[in-house]
Structure formats: C-alpha cells, structure tokens
Structure 1
Amino acid sequence: MSMLSSLASSPDEAVDHLCDVLVVGGGLHGTAVARDLAGRGWRVALCEQDDLAAHASGATGKLVHGGLRELARLDLGGMGRAVQERARLLQCAPHLMTPVRLLMPHDDGMRTGALIRLGLWWHDRLAAGSGLPPSEAVALRRSRLGASLQPAWTRAFVYTEVMADDARLATLCARDAAERGALVLTRTRCDSAVAQGGGWRVRLVRRHPEDGRVVQRLTVQARVVVNAAGAWASSVLSGVLQVPPAAVARKGGEPPGLTWLKGTHIVVPRCVEHDHGCVFHTRGGRFIFALPYERHFTLIGAAEQPHDGPPDGVAAEPDEVMALCQEASRYLRRPVQPGDVVWSYAGLRGALKAPGRGEEGAHGRHQLQLHARPAPVLTVWGGSLSSFRLLAEQAADQVGDLLGERRLAWTADAALPGGQLGELLDHTVSPELDLIAFQSRLRQVHPWLPLPLLRRWTRAYGSRVLRLLDGMRGRDDLGTEVLPDLFEAELYHLRRHEWALTADDVLWRRSKLGLHTTVAQHAALADWFARQHAGCEGQPDAAWLSSAAVA
C-alpha cells in the first residue's frame, strides 16, 4: 500500500472537503488534468483564483497546430503526435473545432520552396484520413487568393490547420470533470498550505465575483497537489506550498530551459477578402497568422517576446500592437493601422528549450516536475493548446503512481460535453459535415429558433444545445433578450452549468460576443448579473458560491 493511502488529521481541525487530488489552476491544463483524474475515479477538487481560462488559456492564437512547427525542427516524432492529437480533438469536440485553409506567401528568408513542398507533403501523409484537404502550391497572380496581398507576392503555399475555441475547451473540461464528481471552485485562491500526514491541508479563500470581498474560507485535505497555475506556478510552489527549490532549478523551482514568452494578438475588421487565413514570415524570422474570426473580423498574432516580469496585468502594449500592424502590412494590400484594432489581448506561455538549441528552440514542449517534499506536488511547466489532452493523460499517470494505483487512461476517444453530434443524426461522416447536418436537423426540430442564434449555440454547446432547448416551444420560452441574441435562458444555463458569474465571463470567455456589443450593452449585462447576485445574498447556496455548478 502507498504511504499516501491514508491521511492522518487532527480531530480538532475541521476539514470542509477531503480529496485525493487538489488541482490548483483553472486554465486548460488544470481543467484537463482534473477531468482526466475524475474520469479515472479519483476524488478531485480544482480551485482557480479568477474565472476559468481567464489568463493564458483564453489568450492563445486559437490554432491547434498539426505539427509543422515540429517539422521545422526536424522533430518527426513530435509532428506525428501533433497530427494525432489534432485528429482526436476534431472527433471529440467537433463543435469547438474549425478547419481553416492557410495561405503562406513564400518569402526569400524562408526555406526553399522545394523543402516547404516536401514538408507539406509529409504533413499531408500523416494527416491522411482526417478529412482535411491537402496542401497545394498557388500562383498568386492567377488566383483569387492573391487579391488581398500586395502584388510583390507571387508564390504561396496553402495548407490546412484547425482553429479552436480555447476558453470554451477549458470550460468544457471543467464541466466534464464536475459531471464525473470533481469539485470545481472558481474565484477561489489557494491561500496557504501545510504538509500533514503525508499529504496537504490547504486553505482556500473564495471571493465575490463583483467586488472581490471574501465570502467563504474552506479547508481542503488532499493526498497530492497538482500545480497547474501557469505563470503563477512558481509563486504557488515557493510561496504557498513552500517547496524547497531544487539545487539545479531556477527561481521558484522552475526547471532549467524554461522561458516565459508573452504572446500579443490584435483583432481588426476583416482585412482579407477570401475565407482563408494567412501565414506571414516576419523580419525577425518568426511567423504571425491572420485568421478569419467571428465572421466580421481578422485575428492577427502572435508577436512573442521573452517576459521576465510578474504575470499580473499582462496586456498588449502599444509597441507590440504597432509591430503586428507593420508586419501584417508588409503583406496585405490594405495596410493595418493601430486605429483599426477593436480588441487586443496578451498571455504568457511557458516554453521549454529543446536540448542544444538557442532561444529559437523554445516551443510548446511540456515538463511534469515532481517534488516529494514536504508532501507530493506535481507541477506542470510549459505545454500548448495542441497537446493539452496528452499532457493531462501523462500527469494523471504520474499522479496515479503517487497514489499507489495507476488507473487506465480514457480520454483519447472520449467526447467532451457537446461533442456527441450523433444524437440527432442517423449517421456521421466527418466532424465538419456532421456539424452542418446537426444544424440542419436542429432547424427542422426548432424552426422558430433564430438562425444566427442556432448557429452560435451549436458552435458553443454542440449536442448539449438539446438540453438548453429542452421544453422550449417558441421564442417566448427564451426569456428576456438581455442583449441582441443573448437571452435569459442562455444566461441561466451559463450561471448554473458553466460558472459564468460576470458580464466578462459571458462576453469574452464563454463567447466572443464582446466583439459585437457596445459599452452600454456590456453595462446592461453587468447590471443583470448584479441583480442575480443581490437576489442570492445571504443564502449558503448562492450562485456565486456554487461549488461545482449543477451536473
């Protein structure tokens, strides 16, 4: 039996929750680890100091890369894993995945055209059977794809990647974890911890979502802590858990080779006339993407720079925005100006350098670091949107070893909530075609549902839209239209099932409706939430104290 098989506790110390694993951090990696562990039958709790995906996990470039970055480093094994993980996500969360064709103008500073064609050919071979169209070479002067580019660009390559809704991925991982028994606590900070009985006694502080005042203090006893706090992982290790830094590690216990990169993105009115995205080779030797976004916009990013400062308050700086505008304008026929930017965001990602490489070798690798003293902690360093499921599986394997029983992995073929589109279909074909067929069938069942709302809901909730619509017979059943195409029925669903407690939670993380709303409309939604919170004041089961959302 493992020495962690039981925890001694003092009878005079009250414990609010007893679990096998406490996961600290509600980003994509933390929620995915909690989901995997809960699905293996472990008792799991997760705490997040802000909202789910409120930081780096909701500030990615939205691309699930299929391994071309690994190919550039001649990492063929990594490329194969990336293609495989992308295919799994397409099957398990088809409503959150959007295949996008990318146009890559050939720059003299890039590799030769022959090498690029060879790499794309190998990429196509690995992706065979995924239903994604193959790559091709394009003469821009004879193609409609050249219309949005400056005439100096004459050659390009086209290949396929997949865009993902990163923040909703994290939310649905948390949703799945909760339905498998996990306790999910948002607006809950890991305040202090002491090693006890071979495990951890952790004190959590919960705060009101609007004014930040303390509304609850909890004590959780866990056998293992998984530190998935991202850019705050060092602070959790050294400041909260008081884990002694390893002699070979850097500040706060960070592993050698880890660097923090700040990625900046901007959103501008649509500046590409076709439905393809673009890949631009920058003068600094990196790549930026210009992606179709939210129907009327183009997402441009990321401009990545090393970041040595604190993680709090990371935002897009004017010089970073200007750099993105200038690099995009080198390629686009219509220049992009800082005044065009309607939204900008930035996030930090931990990147681990490949052995023997310089700064350019830092990429999406991850490392799971075990600290045995003063009690077991597994810390997640690095990682990426493309590899989050695999990272969670590996972390759950290691946690199982710590708990004395490695239970079977299960997430490789398991659909995320809403991913079972076959509930309305007689047969399935491919993720993209299945979603279109699902929307068509839903339209037949609910012809009264406004078409823009139907499309947005199926993209956001997939087959779970059937639960949202359960019992509804007409538009009046949607309740008050708080904002255009945002009804109370959906807001109650988001509060009850997805931990949405503020206007920003809804407008920028559960959706991107913030791009389509005015300041006055944002204020109206904030008022709606304030009224809901006021109606729950003094109740022990208030909405903003809901521990796991209702399963």
Structure 2
Amino acid sequence: MYDIAIIGGGINGCGIARDAAGRGYSVCLAEMSDLASGTSSWSTKLIHGGLRYLEHYEFRLVRESLEEREVLWAMAPHIVRPLRFVLPHHKGLRPAWLLRLGLFLYDHLGGRKLLPPTRVLDLTRDEAGAPLKDMFRKGFEYSDCWVDDARLVALNARDAADRGADIMTRTRVVKAVREVGHWRVTLRDLATGTERDVEARLLVNAAGPWVDKVLSEAAGWNAAHNVRLVQGSHIVVPKLYDHDRCYIFQNADGRIFFSIPYEQDFTLIGTTDRDFDGDPGEVAITEEEKAYLCRAAGEYFKRQVKVEDIVWTYSGVRPLFDDGASKAQEATRDYVLREEGDPATGVLVNIFGGKLTTYRRLANSVMAKIEAVLGAKGPVWSGTEPLPGGDFPALDFSEQLDAVRARYPFLDDGTSLRLTRQYGTLVPEVLGEAAGMADLGRDFGAGLTEAEVRYLMHREWAVTAEDVLWRRSKLGLRLDKDQAAALQGFMSEAASRAA
C-alpha cells in the first residue's frame, strides 16, 4: 500500500510527488497521457510575480510568486534564466505614476537578491526602442525569469522517481473507491488496456482541467463544478528583433500580453484569455485569437505581424478556481485546496487553480494537509535541493556551457547551448564518452541524436516523437514531417525490442 496516490502528471502533481517522496512517503503518480501534456506545457513559460495581479489586490499571491523566482532559478539554473522585461508607456492606457508604483512594489514585495531592479528607459536611445513605433518614447524595465515549463515537469518527475516514487504515464485512473481507512484506485494501462488496483492511504486529485471530471467519473461525485476553464493561446513567428529582452504590452481591452525571444530564432507572442467549454484535450487556437495577437503586436511594433507569418501556435486550458469573476482575465490565478473525508474513511485532497511559478509552494501546502493525516516524516526540503542537472551556481551557466563545449568540441554551438539548457550537468549522462557525432548514433535532424532519444525514453518517460519534439524539447520547430516520422519509427522499434 502506498501512502499517497496522485492523479495527474502536470507541474502540480509532479511537484507534490517530488516533495512527498523526498520526505519519505511512498508515492505513486498516474498520468493518463505524457508528462506535461496538458496545461503545464502550454504556458507563457515565465517564472514571474504577476505584475498585473497587483491591480486585483492579490498581494499575497504576488509576494509568494516574487519570492519563488530566485528559489526556482537556484534549483534549476539550466532551465530557468533571468530575463529583463520592457514595459513601454502607452499614454492612452495606464498612467506612468501607476506603473512606477506597481514596479516599486514589485521590486520590494519579494526576496529579490540577484535579479537587477527596475529602471526607467529612454526608448529613443535604448536599443529596446528600435523595434517599436516612434510614439513610444519612455518605458520601464524590470526583472522576471524564463522557464522551460515542460522540462520543469519532467525534472520534478525524474527527481521524484529517483527518491522512490512510482511514476506511471499513459495510465488512466478509471475508478477510486473509499475502503476502510484507504483508497482502492483502479489503473488502466492505455497501451495494453490491462487494469490493476493499487491502494493508498490518501488520494491527491491534481488533474488540472480534468479535476472535476475525475471527481465525477472516477470518484462518482456527480455535478462537480469547481474550476473555470480559460483558454490561453500563443503564436510563434520569426524573430522580430535581435536583442535578448522581452516586452510586456498593455492592450486597450485591459489585457496584457508578452513578446519573448524564443528558441534562438523566433519570437513568442501571447497570451489570450477566453472562457473555454469543451474537452481540454482538443483545445486549439481560433482564427480570432490569431488575428487578435497579430493586431495587438502591430499596435507596438514597427514591423507588422501577419497571420501568414505564424510558424507555430499552441493553446492550453488553465483550470482556474471559479471565483465568480465576470471576465476570464480577472479570474484568480491563486490555488485553492479542498480536503474531503477523514482518516477513517480515506482522505482526498483536490487542487483547483494555481500557476507555474508557485507550484512548489502549492506542494508545500498540500504536504501540510498530508502530514496532518498521515503524520510528519521528513522536513521541508524542496527549495534547497537542485533539480536533476541543476547542481551548479545560478550565475554560472556560461561556465557550464563552456564545460560542455570543451568536453564535446564536435557539437555545433547551437546544439551545445540546447543540450546545456535542457540537461545541465547531466549532459555527460546523455552523451557519454562520445568523441564525435558518429558515436551518438543516427542524427534525426537539428542535432537530435539516437543517444539523446534513448536517454529520453529510458530516463524521462518519452514514448512518442511528439513527446520528444514538443515537450522534452522544442525541436518540432526545426524537424520536418519526414524527420519526425523517422524519429517515431525509431522510437516504436526501440520500444518493441525492449518489451
């Protein structure tokens, strides 16, 4: 019998699994698809305080988020990096004094130590003003962080497994039944169709957009309605500027959106906020959203962004706690935890809402509830231990990159950078003693080799080409359909041989 069974392999589920396993609890986690295949891989990929949340007086959420920026950067300096955000002043929207006040609070609410503070920009002189229309003459610059969201999930799962958790992907929870003092959970392996039961003293529902569906279908609680599903879509276009800073723009409808350097050769623009009604697994950007983001970007950039410029889009559904807000963009991004049952009948902890930045804090809060039911084991620890590959100082990424280039001089600069960003100190575990590209096996394109694919299959639960190209990496932007098909063929054959 497990101490804890977790439903959902997104950032919340994997974060809880890591924290619990590290404290000494026995843990199993079931994810019906791939890790981070839902909301957690479709974010704007920011570790940020949420500047606009100040307008909704969510000071605790902002403070908690600001404090987490440097914690997560220190835990994972390969996949988390600091970014500077440029906020041009738009005279027709929020006044400059309000922006200055908000940024003052932003600088001082959280535990900023390494990130540089806010400064005022003269956009007529600073290079950040060059891509913008001439009407934007003044701006503000502040700090937040970027994260590879899907890799953050995979690394939490990997660390959880290394600490003893059982991570089961492509495994659906079809039934959860209370028995005396524990839960009996029926799991279905979606690859084979076989079912088996596991027992757990406590059940955590971290199914994200499917949290109510789990309650209704697996747990048998009819008419569960706790979350408001909000669709957020992004577009990716060829890069609009050469510098490495991001922009945060205000829109006339009150929303904000970002323009972010992406995967070296692209610019990421998003996000939208619209209520969603349907299967979260089938969410897709609408033509209206494409036009909205292009039009919004065109209000700021000299170069017009056209729908035909888009090279990729992605959409996700955020499971926000339904607080009755009138507009999707006003719904709280904070998380809500609801505990059901008691130790005699089996306790269920449901997770509603939350955001990428505060996943570790959410896990800590869930652990407090778990400890109250199961008894405390190990101490709070998750913010002081690095994620796999992140065991080097936050400011020393360039030194880590130099070490990879020195050890594997045959890699081109782009591949060295990508591998260091993805794997950090684990690059030698991925590439081994290779002395040349031939030692890494087949190259599927863009530097993705057989050695790396085998590592992802063996260590990171990758099963399909989509897992590799769009979640463990973003090489789907670079490989064509034939290359992706060849990769899928290789992975299917390798899996068959291993079975």
Q: Which TM-score band (shorter chain)?
A: over 0.9
Aligned partner of 1:394 in structure 2 is 365
SS of 2:183's equivalent in the other structure is: strand
Q: Output one character per residue of 1:471-522: Cα deviation in whole Å (capped at 9) or x when no partner.
A: 3343332122122311111111000000001100000000000011111111
Q: Output one character per residue of 1:407-437: Cα deviation in whole Å (capped at 9) or x when no partner.
A: 422112111111102xxxxxx4xx2x30101
Indicate if the aligned counterparts of 1:397 and 1:407 stay in contact, CA closer than 8 A.
Answer: no
Q: 2-side partners of 1:285 and 1:534: how far apart?
A: 52
- What amino acid does structure 2 have at the position aligned with 1:528? F
Q: Output one character per residue of 1:277-314: Cα deviation in whole Å (capped at 9) or x when no partner.
A: 11111121010101000011011100111223332301
Q: Alpha-carbon deviation of 1:403?
A: 1.5
Over the residues paired in the alignment, what is the CA RMSD in angstroms? 2.0
TM-score, normalised with respect to structure 1: 0.86
1:497 to 2:475 alignment: no
Aligned partner of 1:530 in structure 2 is 492
Q: Alpha-carbon deviation of 1:362?
A: 1.6
Q: 2-side partners of 1:504 and 1:169: how far apart?
A: 17
2:162 aligned to which of 175, 179, 182? 179
1:216 to 2:194 alignment: yes
SS of 2:231's equivalent in the other structure is: strand
- What amino acid does structure 2 have at the position aligned with 1:174? A
Aligned partner of 1:380 in structure 2 is 351
Q: Which moved more, 1:144-153 or 1:470-479?
A: 470-479
- What amino acid does structure 2 have at the position aligned with 1:340? D
Indicate if the aligned counterparts of 2:61 and 2:334 stay in contact, CA closer than 8 A.
Answer: no
- What amino acid does structure 1 have at the position aligned with 2:199? Q
SS of 2:71's equivalent in the other structure is: helix
1:461 aligned to which of 393, 417, 423? 423
Report 1:52-451 matches (<5 A). 52-126=35-109, 130-208=113-191, 214-243=192-221, 251-254=223-226, 258-352=227-321, 361-372=330-341, 375-405=346-376, 407-421=378-392, 428=393, 431=394, 433-451=395-413
Aligned partner of 2:434 in structure 1 is 472
SS of 1:312's equivalent in the other structure is: helix
SS of 1:95's equivalent in the other structure is: coil
- What amino acid does structure 1 have at the position aligned with 2:189? R
- What amino acid does structure 2 have at the position aligned with 1:489? A
- What amino acid does structure 1 have at the position aligned with 2:245? H
Indicate if the aligned counterparts of 2:173 and 2:185 stay in contact, CA closer than 8 A.
Answer: yes
Q: Alpha-carbon deviation of 1:399?
A: 1.4
SS of 2:73's equivalent in the other structure is: helix
Q: 1-side partners of 2:372 and 2:111: how far apart?
A: 36
- What amino acid does structure 1 have at the position aligned with 2:399? A
Indicate if the aligned counterparts of 2:446 and 2:475 stay in contact, CA closer than 8 A.
Answer: no
Q: Output one character per residue of 1:313-333: Cα deviation in whole Å (capped at 9) or x when no partner.
A: 011111111111111111111
Aligned partner of 1:518 in structure 2 is 480
- What amino acid does structure 1 have at the position aligned with 2:485? A
SS of 2:383's equivalent in the other structure is: helix
Q: Alpha-carbon deviation of 1:120?
A: 1.6
Aligned partner of 2:446 in structure 1 is 484
Q: Alpha-carbon deviation of 1:393?
A: 1.1
Question: Against the structure 1 CA distance between its residues 362 and 518, is the aligned structure 2 distance closer, same or farther, given a 3 Å change threshold?
Answer: same
Indicate if the aligned counterparts of 1:279 and 1:288 stay in contact, CA closer than 8 A.
Answer: yes
Q: 2-side partners of 1:325 and 1:497: how far apart?
A: 39
Q: Alpha-carbon deviation of 1:49?
A: 0.5
Question: Against the structure 1 CA distance between its residues 458 and 398, is the aligned structure 2 distance closer, same or farther, given a 3 Å change threshold?
Answer: same
Q: Which moved more, 1:33-42 or 1:150-159?
A: 150-159
Q: Output one character per residue of 1:91-123: Cα deviation in whole Å (capped at 9) or x when no partner.
A: 001101122221211123433212212322332
Indicate if the aligned counterparts of 1:97 and 1:162 stay in contact, CA closer than 8 A.
Answer: yes
Q: Output one character per residue of 1:136-172: Cα deviation in whole Å (capped at 9) or x when no partner.
A: 2222223322221122222221112211100000000
SS of 1:308's equivalent in the other structure is: coil
Indicate if the aligned counterparts of 2:93 and 2:252 stay in contact, CA closer than 8 A.
Answer: no
- What amino acid does structure 1 have at the position aligned with 2:385? A
SS of 2:134's equivalent in the other structure is: coil
Q: Alpha-carbon deviation of 1:395?
A: 0.7
Q: 2-side partners of 1:270 and 1:356: how far apart?
A: 36
Q: Output one character per residue of 1:37-75: Cα deviation in whole Å (capped at 9) or x when no partner.
A: 111111100010000001100000111112423433344
Q: 1-side partners of 2:188 and 2:301: how far apart?
A: 49
Question: Against the structure 1 CA distance between its residues 60 and 482, is the aligned structure 2 distance closer, same or farther, given a 3 Å change threshold?
Answer: same
Question: Against the structure 1 CA distance between its residues 358 and 484, is the aligned structure 2 distance closer, same or farther, given a 3 Å change threshold?
Answer: closer
Indicate if the aligned counterparts of 1:483 and 1:525 stay in contact, CA closer than 8 A.
Answer: no
Q: 1-side partners of 2:156 and 2:471: how far apart?
A: 14
Q: Alpha-carbon deviation of 1:87?
A: 1.0
TM-score, normalised with respect to structure 2: 0.95
Indicate if the aligned counterparts of 2:273 and 2:329 stay in contact, CA closer than 8 A.
Answer: no
Q: 2-side partners of 1:27 and 1:109: how far apart?
A: 39
Q: 2-side partners of 1:139 and 1:453: how far apart?
A: 36
SS of 1:395's equivalent in the other structure is: helix
SS of 2:224's equivalent in the other structure is: helix
Indicate if the aligned counterparts of 1:353 and 1:359 stay in contact, CA closer than 8 A.
Answer: no
Question: What is the percent sequence identity of the aligned residues?
Answer: 38
